[in-house]
């Protein structure tokens, strides 16, 4: 069980994970926006929705206030600066924005938010299934909204590669380690690594799950 | 007027209606997911969003906490089990999933959530128009999100058959019976039956409303 | 700084702006619904989502309750009556619903909600970046949802004319005037005028911003 009076090492790890998850999803969002030819404001919008969408719904559903981006509003500035740098870099370098530029940060953000969302829900006293659900929602919503804004059918539903399933896996691992009384920040790191690494392997090997109906 | 200290028979009827509405929308969601060839996790996601989307927004807008699916988290398990059974059944039987598999449970869920949402809003002290709005939102959002996730233009807006209008009808009937001091659980049942039966008749007879502009 | 004990002239101006913003977005929403041939209930739905979507998300994110349309539920009646009158008028007159019927009220609503959302956030004690974000979200979400419901790629992201950027501009102007201790209701009016007039000029002159990648 996680002690509600969370010791400071756990809080530091959680804060770090939140920052990295926001950066990862912001990168995937701005790459997606750049690919479809949005202007600067559009890119900031998509990056922001990708980065903050999942965590905001998590906080609404768990009734946590203030939102994490109100408490730490430097994250908002960070996303704007990232968008600015990326836009300049892409213009200067004429780099080709391949699908990988979206998928790799997305895989990192997926693992980070799935584990973090599940742990936050457990700390707030949620039941196992609700905690897993919070991990899944907070890690997948950003990407789904990003795809909808870019007018793409959400990859989470359409590409038949494990994606939501890996968020579920990471969330279940975290719940399991929590029940085994593993130190919370270690559980967090392990669950993140499992989801992200598995997702990266899935992408590298092009693993696919069959649809139920051929 | 509904007594805020709701007697237990009303609470039982309300709980029963919530369970059946969740099952109905989950069935319509999983049928829609199966039809477009989603994998198992995708099906669970669509079924879950269809089943819980409307009621969750209702609870956010009325500021009711905890959410109904946090209080009764067996509903989440129920939806997962339903998806599992349906997936196996469809694979085994090679049954054809016609539009009816989506529409009939959808009609049942529509009536159940419209009446329930309206009554819950009245109990929370909402005005008539807000109560009707809550009935409409909680009964239609699940289906709209289901259609968006399956990349279909929401039937609620496009098929020109009375749908949202029938949710409005059921909600108004409930408000009317409440003003006439009918026993709350009886109002609830009457309003459900009116919406659902009318919707089933509309589907059977293929009734359509004209667009405003030909 | 805005005095939290807002004097009554500011409250009157704010209420008036809320009413006009709701009317403006409702008009743009019903015009959009009429254009794609929706029936009456569909038109009310789109008009309502356009009119109340942005302000509702603003209130959820700022944790303000009751929602503005619960406190002033005559706004809901107003939107229904507007839809009824507009539907009859359009049928009678066979008027052509050009893009202008959507864009002009949309420009007015944009300016009104951007300034109002920013000021409300400042009064609630939000930081500058959060206040600007609230102005942007509350002024653009209604139009984005309207376009999604009408199955159009949101103009805010696709038309490469300044739109979200002008909401940002109005919000920043309001924050600046607030820091300069300008009388709050005057800041509000100035910020509204800047956004709306600029947007109307952009539309009239067909100004466009280049995409980052040609």
pLDDT tens for B138-160 read: 999 999 889 888 877 777 776 77
Tell me which of A149 and B51 has the higher pLDDT: B51
With an 8 Å Cβ cutoff, is A47 touching chain C?
no
| Model pLDDT for residues C189-205, shown as the tens digit of each residue | 999 999 999 999 999 99
User: Which of C81, C83, C146 minimizes the C-alpha distance to B212?
Assistant: C83
CA distance linking residue B212 with residue C37, whole number of Å: 6
With an 8 Å Cβ cutoff, is C149 touching chain A?
no
The residues near A133 (Cβ < 8 Å, ≥ 6 apart) are A121, B76
Residue C137: predicted pLDDT: 93
Query: Is the Cβ pair B211, C77 closer than 8 Å?
Result: no
Query: Is the Cβ pair A77, C129 closer than 8 Å?
Result: yes
Average pLDDT over residues B62-75: 90
> Is the per-residue pLDDT at B5 higher than 80?
no
Q: Angle B86-B89-B92 (CA atoms, 0-180°, nearest 5)? A: 150
Residue C167: predicted pLDDT: 95
Average pLDDT over residues A90-95: 76
From the list C126, C130, C164, the residue facing A41 with the nearest CB is: C164
Helix pair angle (C128-149, C40-62), 10° resolution: 160
Average pLDDT over residues A96-113: 89
CA B204 to chain centre: 19
Global pTM reads: 0.88
> Is the per-residue pLDDT at B81 higher than 80?
yes
Mutate to test the interface with B, among C29, C39, C151 (most CBs of B within 10 A): C39
Q: Which of these ranges, A87-101, B110-124, B190-204, has the smallest mean pLDDT?
A: A87-101
Q: Angle A95-A98-A99 (CA atoms, 0-180°, nearest 5)? A: 155
Average pLDDT over residues A196-201: 96
Radius of gyration of chain C (CA): 17
Residue A85: Cβ-neighbour burial (10 angstroms; 0-12, 13-18, 19+): exposed
From the list C40, C73, C77, the residue facing B212 with the nearest CB is: C40
Query: Is the Cβ pair B129, C77 closer than 8 Å?
Result: yes
Contacts of residue B72 in chain A, CB cutoff 8 Å? none
In this prediction, residue A2 has a pLDDT band, given cuts at 50, 70 and 90, of low
Q: What percent of chain A stands above pLDDT 70?
A: 92
Q: Does residue C106 sit in helix, strand or coil?
A: helix
Nearest-CA distance C163 → chain B (Å): 25
Query: Is the Cβ pair C212, A37 closer than 8 Å?
Result: yes
From the list C38, C67, C77, the residue facing B157 with the nearest CB is: C38
From the list C61, C148, C211, the residue facing A67 with the nearest CB is: C61
Q: Does residue B159 sit in helix, strand or coil?
A: coil
In this prediction, residue C3 has a pLDDT band, given cuts at 50, 70 and 90, of low
Query: Is the Cβ pair A34, C212 closer than 8 Å?
Result: yes
> Is the per-residue pLDDT at C2 higher than 70?
no
Contacts of residue B60 in chain C, CB cutoff 8 Å? 60
In this prediction, residue C35 has a pLDDT band, given cuts at 50, 70 and 90, of confident
In this prediction, residue B214 has a pLDDT band, given cuts at 50, 70 and 90, of very low
Average pLDDT over residues B85-96: 81
Contacts of residue B212 in chain C, CB cutoff 8 Å? 34, 37-40, 43, 87, 90-91
> Is the per-residue pLDDT at A3 higher than 60?
no
Across chain C, mean pLDDT equals 89
> Is the per-residue pLDDT at C77 higher than 90?
yes
CA distance linking residue C120 with residue C92, whole number of Å: 41
Average pLDDT over residues C97-108: 88
CA distance linking residue C200 with residue C21, whole number of Å: 16
CA distance linking residue A138 with residue A23, whole number of Å: 15
With an 8 Å Cβ cutoff, is C77 touching chain B?
yes
The residues near B12 (Cβ < 8 Å, ≥ 6 apart) are none
With an 8 Å Cβ cutoff, is A67 touching chain C?
yes
Residue B18: predicted pLDDT: 93
- Read off the tokens for B48: 């879950």
| CA closest to B95 among chain A residues | A213
Average pLDDT over residues C104-121: 96
Residue C37: predicted pLDDT: 80
With an 8 Å Cβ cutoff, is C30 touching chain B?
no
From the list C34, C76, C90, the residue facing B129 with the nearest CB is: C76
> Is the per-residue pLDDT at B78 higher than 70?
yes
Average pLDDT over residues B57-65: 91
Q: Which of these ranges, B5-9, B67-71, C11-15, C182-186, has the smallest mean pLDDT?
A: B5-9
Contacts of residue B154 in chain A, CB cutoff 8 Å? none
- C-alpha count within 13 angstroms, C-beta hemisphere, residue B47: 31
Across chain A, mean pLDDT equals 89
| CA closest to A70 among chain C residues | C130
Residue C156: predicted pLDDT: 77
CA distance linking residue A130 with residue C68, whole number of Å: 31
């Amino acid at each position: 069980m996680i002690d509600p009076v969370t010791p400071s090492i756990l809080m530091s790890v959680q804060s770090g994970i939140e920052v990295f998850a926001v950066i990862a999803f912001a990168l995937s969002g701005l790459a997606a926006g750049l690919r479809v030819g949005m202007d600067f404001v559009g890119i900031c919008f998509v990056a922001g929705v990708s980065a903050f969408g999942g965590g905001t719904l998590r906080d609404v559903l768990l009734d946590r206030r203030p939102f994490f981006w109100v408490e730490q509003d430097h994250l908002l500035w960070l996303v704007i600066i990232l968008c600015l740098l990326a836009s300049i870099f892409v213009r200067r370098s004429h780099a080709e924005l391949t699908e990988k530029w979206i998928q790799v940060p997305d895989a990192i953000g997926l693992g980070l938010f799935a584990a973090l969302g599940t742990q936050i829900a457990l700390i707030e006293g949620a039941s196992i299934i609700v905690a897993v659900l919070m991990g899944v929602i907070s890690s997948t919503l950003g990407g789904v909204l990003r795809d909808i804004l870019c007018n793409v059918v959400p990859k989470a539903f359409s590409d038949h590669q494990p994606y939501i399933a890996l968020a579920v896996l990471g969330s279940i691992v975290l719940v399991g380690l929590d029940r085994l009384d593993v130190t919370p920040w270690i559980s967090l790191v392990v669950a993140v690594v499992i989801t992200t690494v598995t997702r990266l392997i899935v992408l590298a090997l092009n693993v696919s799950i069959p649809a139920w109906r051929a």
